[in-house]
Amino acid sequence: MSIPIDTFFLDPKFEGTLQQKIQRMISEGVLSGRFIPGAKLPSSRKLAAHLAISRITVTLAYSELVSDDYLIAKGRSGYYVSPTAPQRSRFDAPRGVMADKVDWNRAIGQRYTGQVLVEKPVDWRSYPYPFIYGQADERIFDHSNWRQCALQALGKREFATVTADSYERDDPELVKYIALNSLPRRGIQAKPEQILITMGGQNALWLAAQVLLNQRRTAVMENPGYPGLRVALNLARCNVVNVPVDHAGMRVDALPAETDVVFTTPSHHCPTSVTMPLERRQKLLEMASKQDFLIVEDDYEFEMSFLNPPAPALKSLDEEGRVIYVGSFSKSLFPGLRLGYMVGSETFIREARALRMVIVRHPPGHLQRTVANFLSLGHFDALVARMGQTYRRRRDVMQEAIDRRGLHIAGSDVSGGSSFWMQTPDGIDARDLSQALRQRGVLIEPGHFFFENPEDGRRYFRIAYSSIDSARIPGGIDIIADTIEEFGRA
């Protein structure tokens, strides 16, 4: 029995190569039961002519399907569906919609929805002016070398390492690179036992909050501050004190006497981008020693210090082991990576490792080794240098456009970064501005997400230049300025 040639067509919605489309088309036909075992497929020449593609593409797809036992080759006779091809388990289709008679309002013991977090539209790339923070720019990223590093991680030499259940352990090559390269750049020395790989910076902050806090302890965070941290602290059920931020970062003079743990972003404050000067960092450490509290330092985006060299990390100034350092590769590589690390005393890291093991065991081995390869071969440093040069050009263009249109910058950044913290004129709510701009193809981030009381942030918004080309920046800023002027007249 031969499968009719008109049965075959390529799915235009499937994102992949032509070879992958052919493989998917045939494997789906086999798994669905449309192509039964023993059925003969069209020759590679006929199928190529029918699909208007190269014959070698069809041949390569057939070869891959043979290796996966979807097809078998019978000499000059051609290709047939394998008698031992994979099959899907089949069940009787359910009748109607599945019933749900559970009273979930009573059944749910603890709720996690309703948290105030920054909204990032899934289709942000379709907007002409996406001033969205923290997204990767495919025009800058090193696709080729990343692909090679991923393939290397899947090779026979490293296969056992990346596929093993490492229990609570991390990739030794990644930990080694962090200890010998990443941390020394921040003036930090650490042993492997003092380093834990995490599922991004958010996971590191959550682990720290869970290990260090309880209902009887007090955590301090910046206001405005990172919304994800506020959620993590709420889940720890501790007492949370929000301390205001000024032109030099967290106001350490406002710390309460009963402080147990301080969470801060001294090198690059979120979201205002201000940098805490050395004197205030030293003051914070002195207070930590005198009042016996700990500090969790979120040192995100320190690689983007293209204006001036980054200030010393708090951890590098710590002489008593009171600082827990959090770093991330998600900002410098791409956010979907979800890979970061934390550095602290062996006792703390041991507890955090045990908690991580219960929740996720360990971050995926293949991701860890791919990143280790990318770092050790020098590709990461080259990427950071390229990002710094690109970001600096974009920042200069955005600064000029902002000055030309008379928009107000609320935060001051002395190091670099990837965004501006802005303020609207009196009487204009940034949430309303954001909605109006979205209708005009411009995406900004309203600032209310970052405040303990969202109403305190109604006049603030953030615009980033990490994902928008320099040529588009002036036009987007013009639309923002024009819209603000229209709101003012209204």
Q: In this structure, what CATH number is given to the domain that contains residue 362?
A: 3.40.640.10
Of the candidates 327, 356, 377, which is a domain's last residue?
A: 377
Q: How far apart are CA 465 and CA 473, in angstroms?
A: 8
Residues 430 and 334 in one domain: no
Residue 463: pLDDT above 70? yes
Residues 221 and 369 in one domain: yes
Residue 99: pLDDT above 90? no
Q: How far apart are CA 340 and CA 198, in angstroms?
A: 5
Residues 55 and 147 in one domain: no
Residue at 106 is within a domain: no
Residue at 331 is within a domain: yes
Residues 362 and 395 in one domain: no
Residues 290 and 346 in one domain: yes
For 145, the token pair is 């070398």
Residue range(s) defining the domain that contains residue 24: 5-81
Of the candidates 377, 403, 423, which is a domain's last residue?
A: 377
**What total number of domains does the chain contain?**
3
pLDDT (0 to 100) of residue 90: 67
- 385-405, pLDDT tens digit by residue? 898 899 999 999 999 999 999
Residue 306: pLDDT above 80? no
pLDDT (0 to 100) of residue 94: 63
Residues 309 and 389 in one domain: no
Average pLDDT of the segment spanning 58-76 = 93
Which of 89, 88, 32, 41 is closest to 65 using CA atoms?
41
- Average the pLDDT over each of 50-59, 158-167, 387-396 and give the range with the smallest value: 158-167
Predicted confidence band of residue 413 (pLDDT cuts 50, 70, 90)? low
Residue at 110 is within a domain: no
Residues 364 and 407 in one domain: no
Residue at 319 is within a domain: yes
Residues 270 and 358 in one domain: yes
Predicted confidence band of residue 121 (pLDDT cuts 50, 70, 90)? confident
Residues 391 and 327 in one domain: no
- 358-369, pLDDT tens digit by residue? 999 899 899 999
Q: pTM value?
A: 0.85
Average pLDDT of the segment spanning 45-63 = 94
Residue at 114 is within a domain: no
Residues 340 and 430 in one domain: no
Of the candidates 338, 354, 377, which is a domain's last residue?
A: 377
- Which ranges of 225-296 would DSSP assign to H, the alpha helix? 227-235, 278-291
Q: What does pLDDT average to over the chain?
A: 91
- 312-331, pLDDT tens digit by residue? 899 999 999 999 999 999 88
Predicted confidence band of residue 95 (pLDDT cuts 50, 70, 90)? low
What Rg, from alpha-carbon coordinates, does the chain have? 27
Q: How far apart are CA 159 and CA 70, in angstroms?
A: 25
Sign of CA dihedral 269, 304, 338, 321: negative
Average pLDDT of the segment spanning 245-256 = 94
Residues 419 and 352 in one domain: no
Residue at 236 is within a domain: yes
Helices 143-153 & 365-376 angle (0-180, nearest 10): 120
Residues 441 and 459 in one domain: yes
